[in-house]
């Protein structure tokens, strides 16, 4: 059937189109939070992620059912430790070895771990001092298991930043600067990224007089701030670059950022947390990150980003916290996002 054989040109176009598609969805992940008593089993959740072309997932803590479901799924994984495990991980190398042997090694052939995260948003705080020693012990445990190439980091909120405007002024706050300087040195030496939770929503609601909703939702038609030679038309880039500025001032010029969380709630706060705004934010976020254009300070550098979150979680605090999900627990969409 000679006529059915595609021409070389058609074949080339088909390959390029598939290449384009995979580029387009690459770099977008979703946070799989599990603080709900009505969520579907992990196997169904991972199947849903796969069907939507999602290329990354973040687990806040190990869940063996989820990890089993991720085997061979082609979805890269940020795996966190429980905050309550930080002290043990920090003070006891064999705790870290056990953690890696239980949660990483059994899956290391079939799951791509893009990062292991020692804790979530514990800096500043009473657990902050344990983060770096936990990272060191986790790295050593991975290395002795032959997995030394797996990055180890921690996930921080922008509470660690003082002087967040304009982005070039960003620096670590005095309270955290010593800890963040040490963590930055570890990340730089190890070639590992810093995981940052970037929420234009919270910045906007804390200062709606001075921040426009369009700047927060990626809908501003023009630059809103000019900082040195750099122009910002969206708050997401501005916040991310503020953290880049802080890293640079702490000796972390080479440290990359992964946005471990970003999102917008669809209910729980009047006419700001609406389905329409959440849908606008997340679709624009995906489009922005998928362009692969990075931020003004790191142009042409794909910014790996994880949307918060997969589900509305009914065991989180009342209010907006329960309404960040892209999906209801019954796996129907809260609103549609264009992930593929």
Residues at the site binding ligand NAG, with contacts judged by CB under 6 A:
328, 330, 332
As measured in angstroms, the least distance from the Cβ of 33 to ligand NAG is: 17
Residue of 240, 246, 140, 130 lying closest to 190 (CA atoms): 140
As measured in angstroms, the least distance from the Cβ of 282 to ligand NAG is: 18
Residue of 320, 221, 214, 234 lying closest to 274 (CA atoms): 320
Q: Rounded CA gap, 168 and 150, in Å?
A: 31
Residue of 17, 29, 23, 20 lying closest to 54 (CA atoms): 29
Looking at the Cβ atoms of 33 and 294, the one nearer to ligand NAG is 33
Looking at the Cβ atoms of 125 and 329, the one nearer to ligand NAG is 329
Query: With the CA atoms of 196, 202, 203 and 209 taken in that order, what torsion angle do they form, in degrees rounded to the nearest 10?
Result: 170
Looking at the Cβ atoms of 153 and 279, the one nearer to ligand NAG is 279
Which residue is it, tokens 């939770």? 197
Catalytic residue positions, numbered: 121, 261
Looking at the Cβ atoms of 100 and 334, the one nearer to ligand NAG is 334
Looking at the Cβ atoms of 40 and 124, the one nearer to ligand NAG is 40
Strand partners, 59: 32, 79
The DSSP-derived string for 125-163 is STTHHHHHHHHHHHHHHHHHTT-TTS-EEEEEEGGGEE-
Main-chain dihedrals φ then ψ at residue 163, nearest 5 degrees = 60, 70
As measured in angstroms, the least distance from the Cβ of 327 to ligand NAG is: 9
Sign of CA dihedral 82, 242, 199, 54: negative
As measured in angstroms, the least distance from the Cβ of 47 to ligand NAG is: 17
As measured in angstroms, the least distance from the Cβ of 328 to ligand NAG is: 4
As measured in angstroms, the least distance from the Cβ of 39 to ligand NAG is: 12
Sign of CA dihedral 328, 330, 336, 339: positive
Q: Rounded CA gap, 60 and 220, in Å?
A: 33
């Amino acid at each position: 059937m000679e006529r059915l054989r595609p021409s070389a040109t058609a074949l080339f176009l088909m390959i390029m189109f598939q290449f384009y598609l995979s580029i387009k969805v690459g770099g977008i992940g979703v946070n799989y939070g599990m603080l709900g008593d009505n969520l579907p089993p992990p196997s169904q959740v991972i199947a849903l992620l796969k069907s939507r072309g999602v290329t990354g997932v973040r687990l806040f803590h190990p869940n063996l059912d989820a990890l089993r479901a991720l085997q061979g799924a082609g979805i890269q994984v940020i795996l966190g430790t429980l905050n309550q495990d930080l002290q043990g991980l920090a003070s006891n190398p064999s705790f870290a070895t056990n953690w890696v042997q239980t949660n990483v090694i059994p899956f290391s052939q079939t799951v791509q771990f893009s990062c292991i995260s020692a804790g979530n948003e514990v800096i500043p705080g009473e657990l902050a001092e344990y983060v770096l020693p936990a990272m060191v012990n986790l790295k050593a445990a991975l290395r002795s298991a032959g997995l030394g190439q797996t990055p180890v980091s921690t996930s921080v909120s922008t509470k660690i930043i003082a002087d967040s405007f304009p982005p070039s002024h960003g620096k670590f706050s005095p309270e955290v600067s010593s800890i963040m300087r040490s963590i930055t040195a570890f990340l730089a030496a190890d070639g590992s990224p810093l995981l940052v939770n970037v929420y234009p929503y919270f910045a906007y609601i804390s200062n709606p007089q001075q921040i426009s909703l369009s700047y927060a939702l990626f809908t501003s038609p023009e630059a809103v701030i000019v900082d040195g030679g750099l122009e910002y038309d969206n708050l997401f880039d501005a916040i991310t670059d503020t953290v880049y500025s802080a890293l640079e001032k702490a000796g972390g010029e080479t440290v990359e950022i992964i946005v471990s969380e970003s999102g917008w709630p669809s209910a729980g706060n009047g006419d700001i947390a609406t389905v329409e705004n959440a849908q606008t934010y997340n679709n624009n976020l995906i489009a922005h990150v998928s362009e692969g254009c990075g931020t003004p300070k790191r142009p042409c550098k794909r910014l790996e980003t994880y949307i918060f979150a997969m589900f509305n979680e009914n065991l989180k605090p009342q209010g907006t916290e329960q309404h960040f999900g892209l999906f209801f627990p019954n796996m129907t969409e809260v609103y549609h996002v264009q992930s593929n």
